[in-house]
Chain A
Amino acid sequence: MDNDIAPQNSKEADVTDNIDEQEAAAEKLQAAADLKAEYKELAIQGLWKNNPGLVQLLGLCPLLAVTSTVTNAIGLGVATMLVLICSNVTVSAIRHWVPKEIRIPIFVLIIAAFVTCVQLLMNAYTFGIYQSLGIFLPLIVTNCAIIGRAEAYASKNPVKQSAFDGLMMGLGFAIILIILGIVREILGQGTLFDGAELLLGDWATVLRIEVMQLDSQFLLAILPPGAFIAMGFLIALKNAIDNHIKTKKIVDKDLVIERVRVNFDS
Chain B
Amino acid sequence: MAFWIASSPHNHNQTKTPNLMRLVIYAALPGVLAQWYFFGWGNLIHIALAMATALVCEFTVLSLRKKPISHELFDGSAFLTALLLGICLPALAPWWISVIGTMFAIVIVKQLYGGLGHNPFNPAMAGYVMLLVSFPLQMTLWQPPLSLVAVDLNFTNTLTTILTGFTLEGYSVEQIRTTIDGITMATPLDTLKTNTGLGLTVLESIESPVFGDNFALGWEWINAGFLLGGIFLIFKKAIAWQTPVSFLISLFICSFIGYSISPDSSASTMFHWFSGATMLGAFFILTDPVTGATSTKGRIVVGLLAGLLVYLIRTAGGYPDGIAFAILLCNMSAPLIDQYTRPRTYGHIKGDK
Contacts and interface: CB of A to CB of B under 8 A. Distances in A.
Interface of A: 216, 218-221, 223, 225, 229
List the 5 shortest-distance A-B pairs measured between CB atoms, nearest first: A220-B134, A219-B134, A218-B134, A220-B130, A216-B135
B33 interface: no
B138 interface: yes
Contacts of B349: none
Contacts, number: 17
Contacts of B136: 219
A220 B108 CA distance: 13
A229 B113 CA distance: 12
Contacts of A218: 134-135
A219 B133 contact: yes
A221 B135 CA distance: 11
Contacts of A223: 133-134
B137 A220 contact: no
Interface in B71-128: 108
Residue of B133, B136, B138 most packed against chain A (CB within 10 A) = B133
Contacts of B108: 229
Contacts of B138: 216
A222 B18 CA distance: 38
A235 to B, nearest CB: 12
Interface of B: 108, 130, 133-138
Contacts of B133: 219-220, 223, 225
A107 B133 CA distance: 41
A218 B108 CA distance: 16
A257 B335 CA distance: 50
Nearest to B137: A216
Given A219-B134, A220-B130, A223-B133, 10 more contacts: A216-B135, A216-B138, A218-B134, A218-B135, A219-B135, A219-B136, A220-B134, A221-B134, A223-B134, A225-B133
Contacts of A216: 135, 137-138
17 contacts: A216-B135, A216-B137, A216-B138, A218-B134, A218-B135, A219-B133, A219-B134, A219-B135, A219-B136, A220-B130, A220-B133, A220-B134, A221-B134, A223-B133, A223-B134, A225-B133, A229-B108
Nearest to A229: B108
Contacts of B135: 216, 218-219
A239 to B, nearest CB: 14
A220 B135 CA distance: 8
Contacts of B137: 216
Contacts of A225: 133
Residue of B133, B134, B138 most packed against chain A (CB within 10 A) = B134
A229 B133 CA distance: 15
A261 B171 CA distance: 80
A225 B121 CA distance: 15
Contacts of B134: 218-221, 223
B128 to A, nearest CB: 13
A219 B138 CA distance: 12
Nearest to B135: A216
A163 to B, nearest CB: 40
Nearest to A223: B133
A219 B130 CA distance: 9
A220 B97 CA distance: 13
A223 B132 CA distance: 13
Residue of A218, A219, A221, A225 most packed against chain B (CB within 10 A) = A219
Contacts of A220: 130, 133-134
